[in-house]
Amino acid sequence: MRKNIVAGNWKMNYNIEQTQQLINDLKTSLERVTYSARVLVAPTFVNLSAAVSSTKGTSIEVAAQNVHQAESGAYTGEISADMLQSVGVKTVIIGHSERRTYFEEDDTLLKEKVKTALAKGMEIIFCFGEQLDERKSGNHFSVVESQLKNVLFDLDVNQWKQLVLAYEPVWAIGTGETASPAQAQEMHAFIRNLISKAYGEVVGNSISILYGGSVKPANAEEIFSKADVDGGLIGGASLKSADFTAIVTASKS
Ligand code: 13P
């Protein structure tokens, strides 16, 4: 059966001292509670190596927030999948709405990033989700469908084992407004059904689909309790160990 996952996307927050501090706090607080979800944290690139060292021997995994589509070369300022793997990072977030909006990452580019990261053997947390106007106009299902189809539906069935999906409605990211548990469930079931139709029920039922967008300790349990919600991708609330730990313990067992 599919795995529940709670991942913290730390975005462009925290220097090295703060990163070490948060990891130490998390190690302590997660040791005191019971949970069965996979737990990942995604610090900024410069702190990945330190994060991998300080989480060694714990159940906390470290992910990157982005990766370049080329294997190597003259791409000043960019980071390759090999570089991430060489510091012990096995998972990468691709397609976050902030990358789509501020760095103009479109489906064509994301497809290249996915292809490269998969070929390098990395696990991908692939993010997508509709804008507010797209939900208001009732187009949210077709937007999500094309985001998935344009980037992922050419993949080989075996490559889906390396994928985790994160549905993050853009209007819920950092706004304090979440999709209701019913809205999240409705979209997650739609996504799973799309995948089952394209790749078969085994793949559809095995893929973890996370919800992201203003998940907090107060709303996590209700959202995670929904049948097709397999955990969360957490922004703001992942920056405080007590809040993130509470969200981890709210995940289904
Ligand atoms: P918030 O939890 O701060 O809304 O961010 C969600 C997110 O973007 C995770 O990737």
Over the stretch 18-45, which tens digit does the pLDDT of each residue have?
Answer: 999 999 999 999 999 999 999 999 999 9
Domain, as residue range, for 197: 5-250
Give the pLDDT band (50/70/90) at residue 252: confident
How does pLDDT run across 40-94, given as a tens digit for each residue? 999 999 999 999 999 999 999 999 999 999 999 999 999 999 999 999 999 999 9
Residue 148, SS3? helix
Instruction: List pocket residues of ligand 1, CB cut-off 6 Å.
Output: 9, 96, 168, 173-174, 212-215, 233-237
Dihedral of alpha carbons 28, 30, 31, 33, sign? positive
Write the residue with the smallest CA distance to atom 1 of ligand 1: 235
Q: What is the CATH number of the domain that holds 30?
A: 3.20.20.70
By three-state DSSP, how is residue 211 classified?
strand
For residue 127, report the distance from its CA to the centre of ligand 1, in Å: 11
pLDDT in tens, 197-231: 999 999 999 999 999 999 999 999 999 999 999 99
Distance 100 CA to ligand 1 centre (A): 14
pTM confidence score: 0.98
What is the spatial distance between Cα 117 and Cα 162, in angstroms, rounded to a whole number?
10
Whether pLDDT at 1 is above 90: no
CA–centroid distance, residue 55 to ligand 1 (Å): 22
Q: Residue 223 to residues 7, 49, 93, 173, 198: CA-CA distances in angstroms?
A: 15, 32, 21, 15, 26
- Tell me the backbone φ, ψ of residue 69, rounded to 5 degrees: -80, -20
- Asked if residues 251 and 6 have their Cβ atoms less than 8 Å apart, the reply is yes
Say yes or no to pLDDT of 176 above 90: no
The number of folded domains in the chain is 1
**What is the arithmetic mean of pLDDT over 101-116?**
98
